Structure 1
Amino acid sequence: MAEVLVVADDLTGANATAADFAEAGLRAATASAATRADVVTDMVARFDVVVATTDSRHAPPEEAARLVGEAVRAGWPAQLVCNRIDTTLRGNVGATTQALADEVRRLSGRRVVVLCAPAHPAAGRHTIGGTQLLDGRRLEETEVARDARTPMRTSDVREILGQQADLDAHLVPMATVTGPRADLVGALRSALTGGVDAFVVDAMTEEHLDRIATAAVAAAEGLDLVWVTSDPGPGSVAMARALGLGRTARGAPLLVVSGSATELTRAQLQQLSTERGAVLHRVPCLPSSAVPDVEAAAAALEQALTGAGPDEVVVFATVIDDSDVMPTTAEDAALIPRQLAAAVRRAVEAHPVEGLFTTGGDVTAAVLAELGSHGLEISGEVVPLAVAGTLVGGPWDGLHIATKGGLVGEVGTTVECVDHLRRTVELDRRRVASAATRFPDRPPD
């Protein structure tokens, strides 16, 4: 499941919130759920944070509430569920907040309390005395008062919530937010034991949001309740931090496939093991032969991948040290890369890899053919004659790859290539992505 599930009423806000979570170190993605909520289900296993966009800011309240419910059900369970609202409180703030709280209550079977912290300090949105300010002015005194579809007639956050929701909302004023922590925790605890449904909190800085979130978690200790948030993003990020949510151990290991018997390749693999802790696995071969045993090799590689963590490097090589070198006929030399590639394909069908490094031209060509790739999109040269890119076409379309010939480079070249591959994969893990459809032809992540 995702660490955090966010339901947003428009794509721009969703992207901004996903970026906030990515900045906090979580892998975040936006998913267009306006017409197909099931895309959220596809993505929660792949990302720490999924922000589902419903495109419902200007929809009728009942429709907005329905879409929120569908998105929550599609992404459930999650450690934290958030309602991403507009920074100027336009749209169906009350209806979506109520719908999200109701759905989480139904799914969890527990009491749900909303933390509504609509301040976005970096964007000049502050909440003082329960009043939302845009660059220091009440909303009704700014251009949003003339919004064609949802003109803002008030800045009172509790009043805005109450227009579409039946929530007992308690105000936490600035004096309490900035006062002694014990007093803040005590005020929240008292309201919680009194049965409050929601808190509307003042905030002018990111520090205020962090104080509120950590105090809320402390105040709820020992109480059987679930926090949800309703805010433009920063409050939800603060609550995620307060709950201890963070980067999960997602991803898959990197795989190095070598079918080269050169002395240089053997030295490069040993260097990779020494400097980066890569685990070297020799490919099981047919009796008295250098030709891989496909069944045994696939099973061995699958076992190696299963036991490897997302930041580890698994090396699968036909030759690791001098004792592995065997006399090879021309016929066997042509068969080795094909058999090795077949074993690799079977293994990665059962266990995903996040990046692939191949050494040896024949092996690279055979692996690409087995994986159904139409070719490579080259992103650049790591070192002369060693390139990096992604697979194009086939079930593994987009898989990161680096590749070189068996006689290319120096002793440390394979380390350089794998380091480049790791950096590329890490950047890809943290990107803010957007997806609107499933990819049934891709392997599980």
Structure 2
Amino acid sequence: MAEVLVVADDLTGANATAADFASAGLRAATASAATRADVVAGMAARFDVVVATTDSRHASPEEAAALARAVVRTGWPARLVCNRIDTTLRGNVGATTEAVADEVRRLAGARVVVLCAPAHPTAGRHTIGGTQLLDGRRLEETEVARDARSPVRTSEVAQILRQQTGLSAALVPMATVTGPAADLVAAIGSALADGVQILIADATTEEHLDRVATAAVAASAGQELVWVTSDPGPCSVAMARALGLTRTAQGAPLLVVSGSATELTRKQLRQLVAERGAAVHRVPVLPGSAVPDVEAAVAVLGSALAGAGGDDIVVFATVVEDADVQPTTAEDAARIPRSLATAVRRVLEEHPVDGLFTTGGDVTAAVLAELGSHGLDISGEVVPLAVAGALVGGPWDGLTIVTKGGLVGNVGTTVACLDHLRQTVELDRRRVASARTSHRPPPPRTKETRT
């Protein structure tokens, strides 16, 4: 699942919010969900933050709410759900805020409170006394009051919300935001005790947003309560920090799949362990055979990836030690890569990886086929005959890969390949990606995550 799911009403705002999360150290992607909300599920398996744009700013309130609900359902579960609204409060602010909150409440089975902090300090949008200001001016005194499709007639945040929702709202004023932290926590706690459904927070700096988010989390500690944010992005990032998401979401591990029985491959894997601390797991085999036991292999690899972090390298190899090499019939030689690839695919449906390295020609071909890839988008050679690129087509379209044959290179070649893979992944983690509505259907989800 994604750490953070954001519902945005337009693409420009979605991209800006994804960039904010990327700057906070999370892998962020934008996905166009205006016509197909199911694209979100596929993105959630690969990124920490998915910002889904519904293109509904100028839609009817009913349509905007329905699109927002669909995104939340498809992207659930997430540790934080955000409703990305316009910095000048145009569009269906109240309708989407209520829709997102209601859908999270239904899915989580817990009380939901919305933190609405529409300030975007670095863009000159400030909230003072519950009034939204654009470069120091009330919204109705700026050109947004003359917007042809969604004119803004008032700067009062609570009044704008009341136009489309009956959820109860309370203001956290600037004096409280900037006062002692204990008083801020107490004020939010008092509002929660009164049953408030939306907290509107004043803010003119990012520090103010951090203070409010941190206090909100503290005030709700020990309660069965889920926070949802409704803002242009900065408050959502602040809430992610307050929940510890920017510190814990460090990406997924790299996976090495080795189906080569060559002596060179074994030396390369040993070198990878010595130089990069890779964790090696031998593929379980059927009794009296060299053919992988698929069920046992799924269990071993699944456990290994579940316990691995974003800085880890997990090796899954048919041959690790010299003693692992066994005489193999032609029939078994054909079954080995297919069975190994099946196990890898099943595990990747549940445990994402940031990059894939395969060694052994037959295994590479089997893995690509099992993952539904049509081929590779080649970026170049790491060393002669060791190729880098990304999968094209299938559920894992775009997954970074390096592949080579079992007799390619020298002892240090696999280390070089993993270093290249790591560098590519690190660059990708800082990149804001965009998914089209024609993107592939998501891989199957577990029963626990279906809703």
TM-score range, shorter chain: 0.7 to 0.9
What is the DSSP-based 3-state SS (H/G/I as helix, E as strand, rest coil) of the residue aligned with 1:78? coil
Distance 1:108 1:286 in 2: 42
- Judging changes above 3 Å, is the alpha-carbon distance between structure 1 residues 45 and 361 closer, same or farther for their aligned structure 2 residues? closer
What is the DSSP-based 3-state SS (H/G/I as helix, E as strand, rest coil) of the residue aligned with 1:148? coil
1:20 counterpart = 2:16: no
The residue type equivalent to 1:25 in the other structure is G
- Judging changes above 3 Å, is the alpha-carbon distance between structure 1 residues 443 and 386 closer, same or farther for their aligned structure 2 residues? farther
Of the three residues 345, 348, 351, the one matched with 1:349 is 345
Q: Is the 8 A contact 1:282 1:320 kept in 2?
A: no
**Which deviates more from structure 2 when the two are superposed, residues 361-370 or residues 421-430?**
361-370
Q: Is the 8 A contact 2:394 2:440 kept in 1?
A: no
Distance 2:269 2:17 in 1: 42
1:221 counterpart = 2:218: no
Which residue does the alignment assign to 2:114? 114
Distance 1:272 1:179 in 2: 54
Q: Is the 8 A contact 2:54 2:67 kept in 1?
A: yes
Distance 2:102 2:391 in 1: 44
The root-mean-square deviation of aligned C-alpha atoms, in Å, is 3.4
1:99 counterpart = 2:99: yes
Identity level (%): 70
Which residue does the alignment assign to 1:314? 315
Gap regions ≥5 residues in structure 1: none
The residue type equivalent to 2:114 in the other structure is V
The CA deviation at 1:193 is 2.3
Which residue does the alignment assign to 1:273? 273
- Judging changes above 3 Å, is the alpha-carbon distance between structure 1 residues 32 and 364 closer, same or farther for their aligned structure 2 residues? closer
What is the DSSP-based 3-state SS (H/G/I as helix, E as strand, rest coil) of the residue aligned with 1:150? coil
Distance 1:223 1:259 in 2: 53
- Judging changes above 3 Å, is the alpha-carbon distance between structure 1 residues 362 and 74 closer, same or farther for their aligned structure 2 residues? closer
- Name the TM-score, length of structure 2 as normaliser: 0.83
Distance 1:230 1:238 in 2: 12
Which residue does the alignment assign to 1:243? 243
Which residue does the alignment assign to 1:57? 57
1:175 counterpart = 2:175: yes
The residue type equivalent to 1:150 in the other structure is S
The CA deviation at 1:190 is 2.4
Q: Is the 8 A contact 2:40 2:50 kept in 1?
A: yes
**Which deviates more from structure 2 when the two are superposed, residues 194-203 or residues 43-52?**
43-52
Gap regions ≥5 residues in structure 2: 447-451
The CA deviation at 1:16 is 1.7
- Judging changes above 3 Å, is the alpha-carbon distance between structure 1 residues 443 and 358 closer, same or farther for their aligned structure 2 residues? farther
Distance 2:45 2:155 in 1: 39
The CA deviation at 1:272 is 1.1
Distance 1:69 1:365 in 2: 40
Q: Is the 8 A contact 2:284 2:297 kept in 1?
A: no
- Judging changes above 3 Å, is the alpha-carbon distance between structure 1 residues 335 and 415 closer, same or farther for their aligned structure 2 residues? farther
What is the DSSP-based 3-state SS (H/G/I as helix, E as strand, rest coil) of the residue aligned with 1:229? strand
The CA deviation at 1:252 is 5.8
Which residue does the alignment assign to 1:4? 4
Structure 1 residues 355-395: Cα deviation after superposition (integer angstroms, max 9, x where no partner): 44344557656765776755432212223443211244567
Distance 2:194 2:443 in 1: 51
The CA deviation at 1:286 is 9.9
Which residue does the alignment assign to 1:305? 301
Which residue does the alignment assign to 1:383? 383
Distance 2:276 2:270 in 1: 10
Which residue does the alignment assign to 2:291? 294
- Judging changes above 3 Å, is the alpha-carbon distance between structure 1 residues 191 and 282 closer, same or farther for their aligned structure 2 residues? closer
What is the DSSP-based 3-state SS (H/G/I as helix, E as strand, rest coil) of the residue aligned with 2:304? coil
**Which deviates more from structure 2 when the two are superposed, residues 95-104 or residues 250-259?**
250-259
Structure 1 residues 312-366: Cα deviation after superposition (integer angstroms, max 9, x where no partner): 3214154644x5678x8xxx79888644422322222322274443445576567
The residue type equivalent to 1:259 in the other structure is S
Distance 2:91 2:111 in 1: 26
1:257 counterpart = 2:240: no
Structure 1 residues 100-136: Cα deviation after superposition (integer angstroms, max 9, x where no partner): 3333344444433221100111212111222212222
Q: Is the 8 A contact 1:31 1:435 kept in 2?
A: yes
Q: How does 1:358-369 map to 2 (within 5 A)?
A: 358-359=358-359, 364=364
Look at both structures and tell me which one has the larger radius of gyration over its CA atoms.
Answer: 1
The residue type equivalent to 2:195 in the other structure is G
Distance 1:385 1:138 in 2: 63
Distance 1:46 1:210 in 2: 27
The CA deviation at 1:84 is 0.9
The CA deviation at 1:88 is 0.8
Q: Is the 8 A contact 2:286 2:292 kept in 1?
A: no
The residue type equivalent to 2:141 in the other structure is E
**Which deviates more from structure 2 when the two are superposed, residues 114-123 or residues 141-150?**
141-150
What is the DSSP-based 3-state SS (H/G/I as helix, E as strand, rest coil) of the residue aligned with 2:338? helix
Structure 1 residues 204-250: Cα deviation after superposition (integer angstroms, max 9, x where no partner): 11111000111112223344433221110110111122123344587
- Judging changes above 3 Å, is the alpha-carbon distance between structure 1 residues 274 and 138 closer, same or farther for their aligned structure 2 residues? same
Structure 1 residues 236-278: Cα deviation after superposition (integer angstroms, max 9, x where no partner): 111122123344587465123152524x443322211222233
- Judging changes above 3 Å, is the alpha-carbon distance between structure 1 residues 97 and 180 closer, same or farther for their aligned structure 2 residues? same
Structure 1 residues 269-305: Cα deviation after superposition (integer angstroms, max 9, x where no partner): 22112222334456788999xxx73354x56644442
Distance 1:241 1:202 in 2: 19
Q: Is the 8 A contact 2:345 2:370 kept in 1?
A: no
What is the DSSP-based 3-state SS (H/G/I as helix, E as strand, rest coil) of the residue aligned with 2:114? strand
- Judging changes above 3 Å, is the alpha-carbon distance between structure 1 residues 377 and 175 closer, same or farther for their aligned structure 2 residues? same
1:73 counterpart = 2:69: no
Distance 2:251 2:84 in 1: 25
Q: Is the 8 A contact 1:85 1:93 kept in 2?
A: yes
Q: How does 1:421-440 map to 2 (within 5 A)?
A: 421-428=421-428, 431-433=431-433, 434-437=435-438, 439-440=440-441
The CA deviation at 1:52 is 2.6
Which residue does the alignment assign to 1:154? 154
- Judging changes above 3 Å, is the alpha-carbon distance between structure 1 residues 129 and 325 closer, same or farther for their aligned structure 2 residues? closer
Q: Is the 8 A contact 1:113 1:196 kept in 2?
A: yes
What is the DSSP-based 3-state SS (H/G/I as helix, E as strand, rest coil) of the residue aligned with 1:51? strand
What is the DSSP-based 3-state SS (H/G/I as helix, E as strand, rest coil) of the residue aligned with 1:192? helix
The residue type equivalent to 1:64 in the other structure is A
- Judging changes above 3 Å, is the alpha-carbon distance between structure 1 residues 107 and 325 closer, same or farther for their aligned structure 2 residues? closer
The residue type equivalent to 2:338 in the other structure is A
- Judging changes above 3 Å, is the alpha-carbon distance between structure 1 residues 112 and 305 closer, same or farther for their aligned structure 2 residues? closer
- Name the TM-score, length of structure 1 as normaliser: 0.84
